[in-house]
Structure 1
Amino acid sequence: MQTRPVADPDFQKMLSGFSLTTAKIHYRMPDHPSFLQTFLWQFTDIAPDYPRLMRFLDHWRREVEAAIHSVEVMHRGLIAPHEIRMVTDLGKLH
């Protein structure tokens, strides 16, 4: 009996639209409102709606005492065409 190779689940997610996302959340704690702190989180999500990030931010607003000042979102598709250069000459090494 021959088994079929199964694609990696993370690769299947990439094919369905997930891509690498980095969220940089600036926040202030209630006991030190003059300090702006940073939380950096990297995960896979679907741009441009970012449902996973939105769930996380909703959870933060409900459950965490720190007030969000701003959120920066960086996004990069993991599957993209790459530059290919053909080699036209091969040298000889003695």
Structure 2
Amino acid sequence: MSDRAFIAQLDGYGLTMAEIHYHRPDAPSLLQLFVWQDYDLAPDFPVLFAFLDHWHREIEAALHSVRVAHNQLIRPAEWRAVDGVISIQ
């Protein structure tokens, strides 16, 4: 059985986090923070925009701002050439 997150990363998805600031319906002068995290495709972010569309349709809280961070976790390995060999005995 394979992990959904690993399969998503192999398909090009990266870990996306969004800080969603919103106004509470019962106290509009207060800002609340909701942190959302899922695997998504940058730079279009279809999963995030689907979530924000759902928020807009189904949740009474008005959005104030959204901050997005994204990191593609699987990428080519980094290497550097080493000039010499050290033997440890």
5+ residue gaps, structure 2 = none
When normalised by structure 2's length, the TM-score is 0.81
When normalised by structure 1's length, the TM-score is 0.77
For residues 33-86 of structure 1, give each alpha carbon's deviation from its aligned partner in whole angstroms, at most 9, with x where no partner exists.
111110001110111111111111001001101000000110000112344355
1:46 equivalenced with 2:44 (yes/no): no
Name the SS of the counterpart of 2:39 in structure 1.
strand
| 8 Å CA contact retained: 2:16, 2:37 | yes
Question: What are the within-5 Å matches in structure 2 for residues 39-78 of structure 1?
Answer: 39-78=34-73
Matched residue pairs, number?
87
Deviation at 1:88, TM superposition (A): 3.4
The share of aligned pairs that are identical, in percent, is: 52
Distance 1:63 1:7 in 2: 33
Rg larger in structure: 1
